[in-house]
Amino acid sequence: METETELAKIISKRLKEGSYECAVCSELVRLRDKLWACSACHGIVHLSCVRFWVKVQTEEREKKRGTSGNTSCVATEFCCPLCRLINPTDALAEYKCFCGKVKDPCDDPLLVPGSCGQTCEKRRDDPKCVHPCTLMCHPGPCPPCSLTRLQSCYCGNSEMSVGCSSGVRGFNCGGVCGKLLDCGNHNCTALCHEGPCPICTVLATTKCHCGAMEKTLRCGENVPFSCNAVCGKPLDCGNHNCPVKCHEGPCKPCSRVPERQPFCPCGKVRVRQLLDSPRKSCLDPIPSCGLVCGARLPCNHTCSFCVMKVLCAHPVLRWSRPSVRVDPAILNIFVFAATYLQRNGKRLLQSQTL
């Protein structure tokens, strides 16, 4: 059986005796007076007095806003005259009983002034308690709950019955915690404890993306990494290895496969125009057109080397470039000139210096 708190008993007794004074006007509270009670300090004042209090506060805020330009003052809130708690002004729109269920409660001399005589049924301050107050509508705070509830231990493996308003938030069951650790792979081996579990200390070996290097790291931190060496994994052609640095995910397909290399290295002429018979595998050499490369270098200049003699440093072969139709006679002239310069260039240079 629940009983009123000491504060509720004192307030109820003084209200019944007519000795309770309003904190605003200092007048005694009578049976027929309309009242307002603060939800924090549970102080009681006349409803008309607290409305006047709000009006004065609002005028002061408006005056302050007009003189200093302060726009943070909100007219929809007011401070309790006793504890200065911020309350919404909507609570003053109607006169209600202490439990808030009845509007304009009747003036019954057998009841506490401001009480409706019904069961309070307010939610208690304890967030764990789900049981409403069973006392008659009353001033002051609701008493602690006298019922019980099930409370789990810290690890959640056991339960016990505790007082609903006992404030118990957990207990040590004495068993192994067993919660999943931060690594997501192992469980806590400590005894049931309060607070978070310790970090996982198990060591695990992990390999880099290409599998050439291993590291021993704490579990949870053993994620794949890059060793910055050449990958070297076999490509899809089965003849070449990946030339890229150790990387995540699958390797790119071989770029020398005939289907993926339709142009010469500089991208000006199609391979089928330079060969009598088509290439059959990635091991077959890629013919050069003999023209000046002209590819854009990283320094923003164009490559001026002859493709037949040396390839430029351009990182990507421009396969998607539209083919340029070259007349076979002109192409033969370029090939002949390039071959002649390659064979006799040194001798011609020496003859010019003499």
Check if the beta carbon of residue 32 is closer than 8 Å to that of residue 111. no
**Rounded mean pLDDT, 265-281:** 86
Residue % of the chain over a pLDDT of 90: 33
Query: What's the CA gap between 13 and 21, in Å, rounded?
Result: 13
Establish if 5 belongs to a structural domain. yes
Helix (H) or strand (E) holding 217: strand 214-218
Q: What is the pTM of this model?
A: 0.50
Of 29 and 224, more confident: 29
pLDDT in tens, 1-14: 578 889 999 999 99
Over residues 206-236, the pLDDT tens digits come to: 889 988 898 888 887 778 888 999 999 999 9
Sign for the pseudo-dihedral over CA of 280, 281, 285, 287: positive
Burial profile 283-319: b = 16 or more Cβ within 10 angstroms, e = fewer? eeebbbbbbbbebeeeeeeebeebbbeebbebeebee
| Spacing of C-alpha 274 from chain mean position | 58
29-42 average pLDDT score: 90
Residue 114 lies in a domain: yes
| Per-residue pLDDT at 307 exceeds 70 | no
SS3 37: strand
Give the count of domains, the chain: 1
User: Rounded distance, CA 190 to CA 324, Å?
Assistant: 74
Domain membership of residue 112 (yes or no) is: yes
Is the residue at 222 inside a domain? no
In the chain, % of residues over pLDDT 70:
82
Across the range 16-43, mean pLDDT stands at 90
pLDDT score, position 69: 47
Q: Kindly indicate the confidence band of residue 153, based on its pLDDT and cuts at 50, 70 and 90.
A: very high
For 102, residues 6+ apart whose C-beta sits below 8 A from its C-beta are 96, 116, 118, 137
- Say how far apart CA 149 and CA 248 lie, in whole Å: 53
Q: Given a cut of 50, is residue 312 above it in pLDDT?
A: no
pLDDT for residue 81? 87
Calculate the average pLDDT of the chain.
Answer: 81
What local confidence, expressed as pLDDT, does residue 40 receive?
87
Give the Cα separation of 312 and 299 in Å (integer). Answer: 12
Q: How far apart are CA 288 and CA 266, in angstroms?
A: 8
> Residue 105: inside a domain, yes or no?
yes
Range of the domain at 9: 1-59+76-143
CA–CA dist 73, 55 (Å, integer):
13
Give a yes or no: residue 178 inside a domain. no
| Residue 154 banded pLDDT, cuts 50, 70, 90 | very high
Q: Which of 70-84, 122-136, 152-166, 216-230 shows the lowest per-residue confidence on average (mean pLDDT)?
A: 70-84
For residue 324, the model assigns a pLDDT of 43
- Asked whether residue 47 is assigned to any structural domain, the reply reads yes
Contacts of 320 (CB under 8 A, 6+ apart): none
Average pLDDT over residues 43-61: 88
Res 72: pLDDT: 46
Question: Does a structural domain hold residue 6?
Answer: yes
More confident call, 306 vs 326: 306
Q: Span 29-51, mean pLDDT?
A: 91
> 4: closest CA among 208, 110, 309, 13?
13
